[in-house]
A and B are shown apart, each in its own frame.
Chain A
C-alpha cells in the first residue's frame, strides 16, 4: 500500500535553532513530493515541492527540503526557527502511477518553537 509516514507527532525547537521535520514515503516509481503548513482552524498553505532536478528544494518562509531517493525521504528543514513557525506540517506525495492529482498526506507533525 502506498503511504506517507511522519514519525514524529511533535517536534520542539528553541527559537534560533535549526529544525527538521521528518517524512518518509512508500510509493512506486518517482512521486511528486510536497510540504504544506496548517495554522489553527485554517486550510493548508503550500510550502514547497519536489518534481525533479536538484535534491534540495527551497520554499516559502525560509524552509527547504531534501529529497533522498535511496532512503525515500523528504525531510523539511530550516536553519533558524522562528516562534511564528509553530504550526502543523504535512508531507504529501502524489504517486505517478495512481489517479492523477491524488495526494497522499502524512499524519502531520506539530512544530512548537519556544522563545
Chain B
C-alpha cells in the first residue's frame, strides 16, 4: 500500500524557536495533503489542507502565520511551527491521498515538545 513518511518522529525544542516537520508520499503523487493535531486521548483536529502549488487552506481558529505550510511538490509538504510555545506541544500527523481514491494514508506522526 501507499506509504507516507513523516519526519522527525519526535522533537524537543526551546520556547521561541521554530520547528519544521516534513511529510512525504513515497510511492505516489499526492495533490492534497492534510495536517492534523492530536491531543492526548483526543481525536484528530484538522489544521489545514495543503494543495500542491497553492496556498494552504486553514481551518477556523488555526493561525496561519504560526503554522506555516508549504506544499512545493507532489510528494512533499512541510509544516513549520514558528516561535513555538509550550502550548504548541502536541502530536502532529500528516496524511495524503491519491487524486482518485477516498482513503487517506497517514504519516507516523511527530511528537513536539516545547520547553
A102 touches B43 (CB 8 A): no
A101 touches B43 (CB 8 A): no
When C-beta atoms are compared, the residue in chain A nearest to B106 turns out to be A43
Query: Do A41 and B111 contact each other (CB < 8 Å), given the known contacts A101-B97, A102-B46, A102-B49?
Result: yes
Query: Do A107 and B6 contact each other (CB < 8 Å), given the known contacts A51-B102, A94-B102?
Result: no
Q: Does B42 contact A (CB under 8 A)?
A: yes
Name the distance in Å between B46's Cβ and chain A's nearest Cβ.
7
Chain B contacts for A44, CB-based, 8 A: 44, 93, 95, 104, 106
B contact residues, range: 20 to 34
Query: Do A42 and B43 contact each other (CB < 8 Å), given the known contacts A101-B32, A101-B49, A101-B97?
Result: no
State A30–B34 Cα separation when bound (angstroms): 23
When C-beta atoms are compared, the residue in chain A nearest to B108 turns out to be A43
Interface of B is mostly: strand
Query: Do A42 and B109 contact each other (CB < 8 Å), given the known contacts A32-B102, A101-B34?
Result: yes
Q: Does B4 contact A (CB under 8 A)?
A: yes
Q: Does A106 contact B (CB under 8 A)?
A: yes
The interface bits of chain B over 66-99 (1 if a CB of A lies within 8 angstroms of the residue's CB, else 0) are 0000000000000000000000000101010100
State A105–B34 Cα separation when bound (angstroms): 13
The interface bits of chain A over 82-102 (1 if a CB of B lies within 8 angstroms of the residue's CB, else 0) are 000000001000100001011
11 examples of A-B residue contacts, CB within 8 angstroms: A41-B108, A41-B109, A42-B108, A43-B109, A44-B104, A46-B103, A46-B104, A51-B102, A101-B32, A101-B34, A105-B43
Residues of B within 8 A of A (CB): 1, 4, 6, 9, 32, 34, 41-44, 46, 49, 57, 91, 93, 95, 97, 102-109, 111
